[in-house]
Each structure stands twice: as C-alpha cells, then as structure tokens.
Amino acid sequence: MFAPVYLDHNASTPLADAVREAMLPWLGARFGNASSRHEYGRAARRAIDEARAQVAAAVNAHPTEVVFTSGGSEANNLFIKGAAARLKPGAIAISAIEHPCVREPARQLVRRGWALKELPVDAQGRVQVDGFDWQASLVSVMLANNETGVLQDVSTLALQVRRAGGWLHTDAVQALGKIAVDFRALGVSAMTLSAHKIGGPQGAGALILDKRVDIEPLIAGGGHEHGLRSGTENIAAIVGFGVACALAMSQPAARREQLEAQRERIERCVLALGGTVFGAQALRLPNTCYFALDHIDGETLVGKLDRAGFAVASGSACSSASPEPSRTLTAMGVPQEQARGAVRVSTGAMTKMQDVDDFCSALAQVADQLRGLRAMAEA
C-alpha cells in the first residue's frame, strides 16, 4: 500500500501506541456504563476520573474544571453558546483569524441580539488590541493559529478582559503538546483542547472551565460532566485522551528542539525557492510552516506533492472544501493571488529529518516542473 510521508499533523496525528493499548480494554471486556453502581460501572468511573486528572495536569488545571466533549468544535460551541445563554445580550469579540467553530457560533449570537466585534491582526498574524474598548462580555482568541502557527499573547489579553469584567476563552487545540500550556498562568476563563492533535483518538476533547464561570449546557439530560454535557461517556476515547496528555508532557524540550530544527530546514528550502513564509517574524509553533511559492497554486502543489509521496495541506482541514483564499491570510493583508498559493507543512513526533530532507527535494522538483509548465504556457 502506498503511504505518503505524513506532514499534516496540525490536521490530525497518528494514534500513539500507548494510547491504543490503553483504549483496547474499553473496546472489549470493559464495557460498563460509568453511571452504573456495580463493579463494571465503578471501573469505568475510575477510568474517567484518572483521565480527567491526566488532562488537568497537562494544562495546570483542577480535575473538576475538565468537561469532556466530543472534540474541539463542541467545546468551543459549549462555551460561546453556553456562556451567552447565562448573560444578557451584549458584545462578543473574536479575532479575525479564529477557527470556524468559534466564528460561526459567534455569528449565531448576532441573531439573538448580540453585537459581534472582530479583533484585527497585523501582517504577521498577531492580534491587535490597541484602541479596543473591551466592552465585550465574551472574548475568544486562539492561543496558536492552526494555519500559520502564530502564537497570541493570551495572558495579556486575559488581564485586559478581566479588568473590564468579561470572560476570555482561548482555543488551545493546536498549542497543546507543542508548547507549554498553563491554564492558571494564562488567566483565561475557559480553554478548549482536543485529543487527536496530540496522538489521541478522534472524537474526544475538553473544555477547561474556571469554576467561577457559569454556563448553560448544550446537551441536557442525565447530568453527566457536572451537568454540562449529558450523554453516556465515550470511555475508550476519554481514556486515550488522558494517556495522550500524559505522553505530551514527557520530554517537551527535546521534542520542541526536534520540531524547530525540522521547520527551519523546510523554511530554508522555501526561501531558496523564492517563496514566502507567512508569520515568519512572529512567535510560532515549532512544527508549523505555512508558505507560498510565487505563481504556483496551492491546491495544485498539494496534489503534486501527494503524488510524489508527501501529505501536506493547503490550509485548515476544516475549511478545505472552500475555494476561497485563507481567511487567516486575508486578515493578514496577504494578496489573494499569493494566498491561493498557500501550503501548510506541519511535522510531528513521527517525523524524521530524512523525511524533511526528502520533502525539500521533492518540493524543489515539483516547483521546477510547475514553473516550467507556466513558462511554456506563457511563451
């Protein structure tokens, strides 16, 4: 079977071996419902409690602040809609580069009488707040952008929002496992996490919620997850999430050093080909390179690289069906033609430097081919 070198870890990561082993019993003999009073149920409850503690430890939160969800999208919706339901309609502010699962629920609030404010970003993708009056009850700014990898100064934003009496939520899905993520130090009211970005299973996530914040559940019923997310728990996925968090906390410095070295190698290649690296002057995730080569369409380049044996992306996986240029790059002021050429490479724990070197060679060859075809067409 043909298996391209996988360089799209920001979209999803392979399930870690230790995670798979931990999950397997809960897909077989351990099938109890965690709400049951017998030993099968008690064993399931203990497993969830252990996973909750592991997730909390990964971000310096208390286990009671962890609300398990089906993933990052649900967690983002849970906070935005749940918090808004407890407040009088006011203003919600989000950055111009938020993921659709933040942007769309924020837009839905407009139909309920809320005012939507958008925080602009500079040419490097950093959120700009100068002159913003902070008269917003709810604010959501991602910790790390899923396309550019650019990091935001969330702790400073959180302080400003708290002083104005609002709640700040941050989507930390892309940050967890790549940089240190500290719920307490950031000072946010809520934080979103996802398992499948850190070697865990798809379909598991969490909202980390400060105990002082009151939100309304999206799913009402049996009172699961502190009454905030009813429904029988996906124990196997939750167990896997917990183990993935524990793994993410091991040897973070060595992992970051490896990822940074790989990113630098890719970016030297891109620049040698006359390309542009987006957000290069900002603090970024160590594994993410978002670039464009002049006069080369991003989707075409991704397809050619896939056939050459390298799996990369032309942007966010959740927005890949849209023919429009990246909203993130548009917000950064990148011209549409250049934005349409954007390609994202994101490495991970399984990536070897040889994979990166082979990718760079393939990128140079494919770029030469495409430029040659363009020259012929223009002749």
Instruction: Give tens-digit pLDDT for 242-300.
Output: 999 999 998 788 889 999 999 999 999 999 999 999 999 999 999 999 999 999 999 99
Q: How far is the C-alpha of 142 from the C-alpha of 138, rounded, in Å?
A: 13
Do 92 and 234 have their domain in common?
yes
Mean pLDDT of 117-139: 93
Q: How far is the C-alpha of 129 from the C-alpha of 331, rounded, in Å?
A: 14
Do 9 and 25 have their domain in common?
no
pLDDT attached to residue 224: 93
- Indicate the range of 16-20, 33-37, 45-49, 234-238 predicted with least confidence: 33-37
- Number of structural domains (the chain) is 2
pLDDT attached to residue 379: 59
pLDDT attached to residue 127: 97
Distances (CA, A) of 218 to 73, 76, 85, 113: 12, 11, 10, 19
pLDDT attached to residue 366: 97
By residue range, what is the domain housing residue 354?
5-13+252-378
**Hey, is 193 helix, strand or coil?**
strand
**Mean of pLDDT over the chain:** 94
Q: Please say if the pLDDT value at position 1 is more than 60.
A: no
* Burial (Cβ within 10 Å: 0-12, 13-18, ≥19) of residue 317: middle
Domain boundary among 218, 248, 278: 248
Mean pLDDT of 141-153: 98
pLDDT attached to residue 315: 65
Q: What distance lies between CA 137 and its chain's CA centroid? A: 24
Q: How far is the C-alpha of 244 from the C-alpha of 259, rounded, in Å?
A: 18
Q: Please say if the pLDDT value at position 351 is more than 80.
A: yes
pLDDT attached to residue 147: 98
Do 294 and 312 have their domain in common?
yes
Do 67 and 138 have their domain in common?
yes
Domain boundary among 225, 248, 271: 248
Q: Percent of the chain having pLDDT more than 70?
A: 95
Q: How far is the C-alpha of 225 from the C-alpha of 236, rounded, in Å?
A: 16
Do 60 and 152 have their domain in common?
yes
Do 243 and 285 have their domain in common?
no
pLDDT class of 324 with cuts at 50, 70, 90:
confident
pLDDT attached to residue 345: 98
Work out the end-to-end distance of the chain between its first and last CA atoms, rounded to an integer number of angstroms: 40
pLDDT class of 131 with cuts at 50, 70, 90:
confident
pLDDT attached to residue 294: 93
Say which residue, 15 or 130, is predicted with more confidence: 15
> Looking at residue 94, which CATH number applies to its domain?
3.40.640.10
pLDDT attached to residue 332: 98
Q: Please say if the pLDDT value at position 318 is more than 60.
A: no
Residues in the chain: 379
Mean pLDDT of 340-360: 97
Mark whether 269 is an active-site residue: no
Q: Please say if the pLDDT value at position 2 is more than 60.
A: yes
For 24-71, where are the alpha helices, taking DSSP H only?
39-58
Domain boundary among 223, 248, 273: 248
- Indicate the range of 91-95, 302-306, 375-379 predicted with least confidence: 375-379
Q: Percent of the chain having pLDDT more than 90?
A: 88
In degrees rounded to 5, what are phi and psi of residue 194? -145, 140
Q: Please say if the pLDDT value at position 78 is more than 90.
A: yes
Residue-wise pLDDT for 149-208, tens only, equals 999 999 999 999 999 999 999 999 999 999 999 999 999 999 999 999 999 999 999 999
Question: Would you say 173 and 304 are in contact if contact means Cβ atoms under 8 Å apart?
Answer: no
Give 91's strand partners: 115
Do 34 and 150 have their domain in common?
yes
Q: Please say if the pLDDT value at position 317 is more than 80.
A: no
Do 40 and 95 have their domain in common?
yes
pLDDT attached to residue 253: 84
Do 208 and 349 have their domain in common?
no
Say which residue, 87 or 254, is predicted with more confidence: 87
Question: Would you say 149 and 279 are in contact if contact means Cβ atoms under 8 Å apart?
Answer: yes
pLDDT attached to residue 322: 57
Do 239 and 271 have their domain in common?
no
Do 77 and 154 have their domain in common?
yes
